[in-house]
Amino acid sequence: IEKKFYNENLVVYALDVGKGFAMKAGRPGSYLFARARGAGSFYDVPLSVMKTDVEQGYIYLAIKIISSKTKTLIGENEKFILRGPYRNGLHGLSSITGKKGKKQKILIIAKGIGIAPGILVSQSLGERASVDMVIDMEKISKEFIRDFIDEQPHADAPNGEEKENAGVQYVSLTDKDADRKLEKLMQKKKYDSVILLVSDYYIEHFGNLIKKVLPGADLAVSNNFHICCGEGLCGSCSIDTSGGDSIKMCKCQLKGEEFLNNVFR
């Protein structure tokens, strides 16, 4: 339906997939394998679903152009071959989505294109959660943010609460004072859950910070493993746990703390 470049290495596709498929793809943590027509199956690229419009039957995919697979994909202007949806794009998410009762407070910390699955989380949980975002703008643009993220402070923010501590903040995670800014924000807002959509280095670094500042908060993290088949067959995403078991990260779900303990032990 639409193909829009936000910079030379970032493009967003809006795809007409029908209402049924769009509804299935709207669950947080969903991803698809996509390839251009005429390309072999080894050109499948796993892509997080960024946004859905069930009424129109549309889904939105953000693609960061890296190498031959993604270059082949963005050369397609009419139809994609899609496989999915798969559910394991985020680890630890079930602890957050399964919470009942009070309207929970969620913080999403994302760097670059990592914000894509965060947009779907915000869309899905926005009615029963207050979602704040801290975004590192590396390799994405303000226009991209304007098109897909509501930057306004939450209407239900308590009276007197500082506006900059609600909605969206922009922080470079490489800055030396990033830890201090995030710690101050988490101490002030007392989030029930935190979602890290960053590289493994930052998952380990900020995951340990979150455990220190918010020991009772649930943690979810992006699945950054090299996923080739998505079916648990090829073994490219396998890890050995601290207990000596081998698990396949495209299928097995770990809680956030389990992820930290097993992947970064």
Q: What mean pLDDT, rounded, does the chain reach?
A: 89
194 — pLDDT class (breaks 50, 70, 90) = very high
Check whether 1 has a pLDDT greater than 90: yes
Contact 90, 223 (CB under 8 A): yes
Token representation of residue 68:
């031959």
Residues in the chain: 265
pLDDT value, residue 60: 98
Question: Rg for the chain (alpha carbons), in Å?
Answer: 18
Q: At what angle do helices 256-263 and 200-213 cross, to 10 degrees?
A: 130
26-50 pLDDT tens trace: 999 999 999 999 898 889 999 999 9
Check whether 156 has a pLDDT greater than 50: no
pLDDT value, residue 163: 40
Compute the distance between CA of residue 208 and CA of residue 257 in angstroms, rounded to an integer.
Answer: 9
Compute the distance between CA of residue 194 and CA of residue 108 in angstroms, rounded to an integer.
Answer: 6
Give strand ranges (E) for the chain.
2-7, 10-16, 31-36, 45-53, 58-64, 80-86, 90-91, 104-111, 129-136, 168-170, 193-197, 218-222, 238-240, 246-248
Q: How many CA atoms lie less than 13 Å away from 230 in the CB half-sphere?
A: 20
pLDDT value, residue 265: 65
Compute the distance between CA of residue 180 and CA of residue 190 in angstroms, rounded to an integer.
Answer: 15
Q: Which of 22-26, 39-43, 107-111, 219-223 has the lowest mean pLDDT?
A: 39-43
Closest residue by Cα to residue 62 from 117, 133, 142: 117
Percent of the chain with pLDDT over 70: 93
pLDDT value, residue 89: 94
Check whether 5 has a pLDDT greater than 50: yes
Using DSSP's 3-state secondary structure scheme, residue 49 falls into: strand
239 — pLDDT class (breaks 50, 70, 90) = confident
187 — pLDDT class (breaks 50, 70, 90) = very high
159 — pLDDT class (breaks 50, 70, 90) = very low
| CB neighbour list of residue 101: distance below 8 Å, 6 or more residues apart | none
Check whether 262 has a pLDDT greater than 80: no
Q: At what angle do helices 200-213 and 178-189 cross, to 10 degrees?
A: 40
pLDDT value, residue 179: 96
164 — pLDDT class (breaks 50, 70, 90) = very low
Which residues on neighbouring strands pair with residue 21, listed in sequence order?
Answer: none
